[in-house]
Structure 1
Amino acid sequence: METGFTKWIIVVTVVLCCLLELIDTSIVNVALTQMMGNLSATQQEVSWVVASYAIANVIVIPMTGFLAEQFGRRNYYFASVVIFTLASMACGQSTNIWELVAFRFIQGIGGGALMATSQSILIDTFPPKQLPLGQALFGMGVIIGPTIGPTLGGYIVDNYDWPWIFYVNVPVGILASIFTLTFIRDPERIKNAIPRPLREIDWAGIFLLILGVGSLQYVLEQGETKDWFEDPLINFFTACSAVGIIGFIWRELTAEKPIVDLRVLGKSRNLAVGAFLSFVLGFGLFASIFIFPIFTQRILGFTAAQTGFLLLPGALASGFMMPLIGRALQAGIPQKYMIPVGFIIFFFFTFWMSGKISPTAGESDFFWPLMVRGVGLGLIFLPITTMSLAGLQGKDAGQAAGITGMIRQLGGSFGVAIVGTYLERSLAQNRNSLSANISLYNGETVQRIQAFTQNFMSKGFPLEQARQQAYAALQGILMKQTSLITYSQIFTALGIFFLACLPLILLVKRVKVVGKISMDAH
């Protein structure tokens, strides 16, 4: 157990690494168009820059407990920081799209370890009574990282060039590497652990994990681009994910020394419920951060930097809430009371946002709803995390951290995939519904076209060209109205999803002493 200056240096190190990992899940999104031009890539090819990182992440996260035990947690953490830093430099140096995709995959391998391992380091760094504070600091990175990614990315793309979204990782990575070697120590249980011989490693479990989760992540990342099950490759990887996941579950439940011990889910009902709630949290966190920039940039004409700065106060509100929630937990307020409040606040955010969707909305209209979102997510994340790991010790806690981290990541991928698909298909359906009311036999339609035509003629356009411009203007109004209805529906649906998950809180057992949370976690 560390104290004083060393403890806070460790905190700074792991929170920075956690932030880096999560920022890189979203920072590239605002730079994809520039990458397409500079690397002569198509839209489909450049989408792999995002997908490769996510696939590597979701494969590595559940294995972090085993890898920390096998190689020593400090060694594994240091190697992961180095891999992430070197891959970031290589990404910026890439000369073609497939080089960039390959280095992003390697970056994802290094980054995947930073989440679960950072959490376990904080657990071992803080004494029992201060554990909620340690978890709160970790939560700041989880909530703030995906939100400030577009902000930072938008600023860099607007003022510099896309390689700098990777170069900014390098100095932080170097500093984190030095601090890791200097200040982080393995607890006695890891120092004394005997690594498994190669023949005893669960190679079948590793293969099935890569096949199942990797294929599922590919389907979620690429499904909308390839029109889902109309594409043979999506069908193939869907089958691979089903075979891999079913085989992985069977293998890990029956193997003597599994790579990911799923039996830990049966040891704690709170962990099982917490795992599902982590999925819901990931779904809401990433889906809302995905759809809002699309709306502001496509419909309202905001720049990437404008959108990013608009999201920043809400992210900071989440960060501000974390220590307060940690103290509340430390004071004995049950998680099962906080989580429903967070869900209801998040629902209020989505309901408020659905009412704010309009063609005249400005930055000030979204400030307070996004602040409410930040408060709601703060009330959800920390109670779920502490509840999930409470009462688990040693290897069980390390496995639980990896499982919940993977499920939260998959929840985010499902959220983005489902919302993206819903957006495109609802746009088409709503457009067809509204188009039924527009006809040359409709008096209001004719009057609107005539008014537009007269307006364009008054600006010097000849009659035929003015009429064509009038039709185009009417089509533009139709498309904008369709978009507004669709985005409003999406926010409402997100809120209903959160409300529908509320009954799960009834399954949570009260944890009386927060300070006993998995002190022996990996």
Structure 2
Amino acid sequence: METGFTKWIIVITVVMCCLLELIDTSIVNVALTQMMGNLSATQQEVSWVVASYAIANVIVIPMTGFLAEQFGRKNYYLASVILFTIASMACGQSTNIWELVAFRFIQGVGGGALMATSQAILVDTFPPEELALGQALFGMGVIIGPTIGPTLGGWIVDNYDWPWIFYVNVPVGILASIFTILFIRDPERIKNAIPRPLRQIDWAGIALLIIGIGALQLVLEQGEREEWFETPYIVIGTVLAIVGLVGFVVREMTATHPIVDLRVLTKSRNLSIGAFLSFVLGFGLFASVFVFPIFCQRILGFSAEQTGLILLPGAIVSGLMMPVMGKMIQRGISQKFILPVGFLVFFIFSYWMSVRLTPTAGEGDFFWPLMLRGFGLSMLFLPITTMSLAGLSGKDAGQAAGLTGMIRQLGGSFGVALVGTYLERAIFQNRNALLPHISLYNPETATRLNAFIANFRAKGADLVQAQQMAYAALEGTLIKQTSIITYAEIFLMIGGFFLICVPLVLFIKRAKPGEKVDLNAAH
């Protein structure tokens, strides 16, 4: 365990790296339009800038335990930080879209290690009695990172150029590399670990993991843009995902030296429940961050920077509450009591948002609901993590940490994919449902149409032009109204998903008196 100055330098280093990795999952979203223009790319091509990073991330995360054990955690972490930094510079230097996609994939390989390995380093930095505080600091990065990505990206794009969303990583990465070399050490159990011989490495498990998880992430990232199963490569990707994942589960349950030991799920009921709740947390965290900025920018006309600033106070509240939750768990308040409150708070946030979405909504209308969201997330992340790993030790804790991290990431991907698909399809379904209520024989419709015509004629249009423009404006109003209904439905759907999870908490096994969460191998 580290103390004093060294301890807090390590904390700053790993939280900084964790933030870098998570910010880069969302920071590019606000720069895609600029990239399309500068790199002469189509919308379909530029979507791979997001997809390639996510695919690399979700493949690497579950393998971090094995790789840290094989090469030494400090060496693996340092190599990942350097790889991430070099790839960030290369992304900014890209001269065509496919160069950028390739370097984003490499960046994702480096970034995938930063999450789980940062968590393990924090665990070894804090003594057992301060373990919840270490996890709380890690949780600050997990919650804040995806939220401030669009804010930072919007500010950079508005004031500079898109390569700078990658260049900003470089000085931070260099500083993190120096701090890693000077201050981070491997614990004795890792120093004394004997790397597996090549013949004992689970090559089949690695291949099946890459095929199964990689194909699944690909389908989730690209499916909505490609009309799902109407596109051949999405069909092929789905088949590969099913075959790869089934093969991976069978292999890892039977292999002598599995790359990801899935048998740990059978050793702890809490871990099995925690894995599902991690999926739900990822779903709600990423889906809400995905849908709210779209509403603000499409319907209310806010800029990316303006939207990000609206999200920021809630993210800060979540970060500040993490250590408080850590202290509560340290003092013996059971996760079984905290989690139901967290799920109910997130449901209230979702319902509150659904009624606040109006065409005239302003920034102030979302302040308190988003503050409530931040409070709710702080009551979910840390209790789920500590509950999942309670009673596990050594390699089992490391495997469990990697699994929950991967599942949380997949939950986010499922959330974004489902919400994106529902959004595009439900808008037109809701439009068709409202259309019968709009008729020229309806006095309210006729009044609105005549007002549009009068307005356009006052601006110089002749009668025919004014009528055409009025019909277009009426259609725009209809689409706007149906969009608002759809966004409200999405928030209710997310809230309902959280609400039905409350009964699961009843099945959580309460920790025995004095039992601690052993995350010492949680790499």
TM-score when normalising by structure 2? 0.98
In 2, Cα distance between the equivalents of 1:250 and 1:69?
23
Q: Please tell me the residue identity of whatever aligns with 1:324.
A: V
Give the Å deviation of 1:450: 2.7
Percent identity between matched residues is 75
Q: Please tell me the residue identity of whatever aligns with 2:139.
A: G
**Deviation digits for residues 51-74 of structure 1, max 9, x if unmatched?**
000000000000000000000000
In 2, Cα distance between the equivalents of 1:452 and 1:100?
46
Q: State the secondary structure of the residue aligned to 1:104.
A: helix
Closer/same/farther in 2, CA of residues 410 and 436 from structure 1, 3 Å limit: same
Deviates more, 1:501-510 or 1:246-255: 501-510
Closer/same/farther in 2, CA of residues 355 and 514 from structure 1, 3 Å limit: farther
What residue number does 2:5 align with?
Answer: 5
Give 1:380-399 correspondences, 5 Å limit: 380-399=380-399
What residue number does 2:481 align with?
Answer: 481
**Deviation digits for residues 129-153 of structure 1, max 9, x if unmatched?**
0000000000000000000000000
Closer/same/farther in 2, CA of residues 54 and 459 from structure 1, 3 Å limit: same
* 8 Å contact kept, 1:278–1:411: yes
In 1, Cα distance between the equivalents of 2:220 and 2:492?
22
Q: CA RMSD in A?
A: 1.1
* 8 Å contact kept, 2:349–2:369: yes
* 8 Å contact kept, 2:394–2:518: no
Closer/same/farther in 2, CA of residues 125 and 233 from structure 1, 3 Å limit: same
Give the Å deviation of 1:462: 1.3
**Deviation digits for residues 400-444 of structure 1, max 9, x if unmatched?**
111000000000000000000010010010011111222344454
Give the Å deviation of 1:330: 0.4
In 2, Cα distance between the equivalents of 1:289 and 1:17?
21
Give 1:254-333 correspondences, 5 Å limit: 254-333=254-333
What residue number does 1:342 align with?
Answer: 342
Give the Å deviation of 1:479: 1.0
In 2, Cα distance between the equivalents of 1:457 and 1:466?
6
In 1, Cα distance between the equivalents of 2:166 and 2:189?
36
Deviates more, 1:461-470 or 1:244-253: 461-470
In 1, Cα distance between the equivalents of 2:233 and 2:83?
31
Give the Å deviation of 1:514: 6.4
* 8 Å contact kept, 1:132–1:515: no
**Deviation digits for residues 346-402 of structure 1, max 9, x if unmatched?**
001001100100011000111111000000000000000111112211111111111
In 1, Cα distance between the equivalents of 2:409 and 2:382?
16
Q: Please tell me the residue identity of whatever aligns with 2:258.
A: P
Give the Å deviation of 1:254: 0.2
* 8 Å contact kept, 2:402–2:522: no
What residue number does 2:78 align with?
Answer: 78
5+ residue gaps, structure 2, are: none
Closer/same/farther in 2, CA of residues 229 and 68 from structure 1, 3 Å limit: same
**Deviation digits for residues 210-261 of structure 1, max 9, x if unmatched?**
0000000000000000000111111110000000000000000000000000
Q: State the secondary structure of the residue aligned to 1:17.
A: helix
In 1, Cα distance between the equivalents of 2:335 and 2:262?
24
* 8 Å contact kept, 1:357–1:484: yes
Q: State the secondary structure of the residue aligned to 2:437.
A: coil
Find out whether 1:59 has 2:59 as its counterpart.
Answer: yes
5+ residue gaps, structure 1, are: none
Give the Å deviation of 1:279: 0.3
Deviates more, 1:170-179 or 1:407-416: 170-179
Closer/same/farther in 2, CA of residues 118 and 514 from structure 1, 3 Å limit: farther
* 8 Å contact kept, 2:26–2:146: yes
Give the Å deviation of 1:187: 1.0
Give the Å deviation of 1:503: 1.2
* 8 Å contact kept, 1:330–1:514: no
* 8 Å contact kept, 2:389–2:517: no
What residue number does 1:49 align with?
Answer: 49
What residue number does 1:31 align with?
Answer: 31
Find out whether 1:402 has 2:410 as its counterpart.
Answer: no
**Deviation digits for residues 269-316 of structure 1, max 9, x if unmatched?**
111111110000000000000000000000000000000111100000
Aligned length: 522
Give 1:9-24 correspondences, 5 Å limit: 9-24=9-24
Q: State the secondary structure of the residue aligned to 2:276.
A: helix
Give 1:203-214 correspondences, 5 Å limit: 203-214=203-214
What residue number does 2:138 align with?
Answer: 138
What residue number does 1:500 align with?
Answer: 500
* 8 Å contact kept, 2:116–2:522: no
* 8 Å contact kept, 2:386–2:517: no
**Deviation digits for residues 64-119 of structure 1, max 9, x if unmatched?**
00000000000000000000000000000000000000000000000000011111
Q: State the secondary structure of the residue aligned to 1:253.
A: helix
In 2, Cα distance between the equivalents of 1:31 and 1:516?
41
Deviates more, 1:447-456 or 1:121-130: 447-456
What residue number does 1:237 align with?
Answer: 237
In 2, Cα distance between the equivalents of 1:146 and 1:178?
25
* 8 Å contact kept, 1:131–1:515: no
In 2, Cα distance between the equivalents of 1:219 and 1:49?
15
In 1, Cα distance between the equivalents of 2:29 and 2:503?
35
What residue number does 1:93 align with?
Answer: 93
Give the Å deviation of 1:198: 1.0
In 2, Cα distance between the equivalents of 1:170 and 1:448?
55
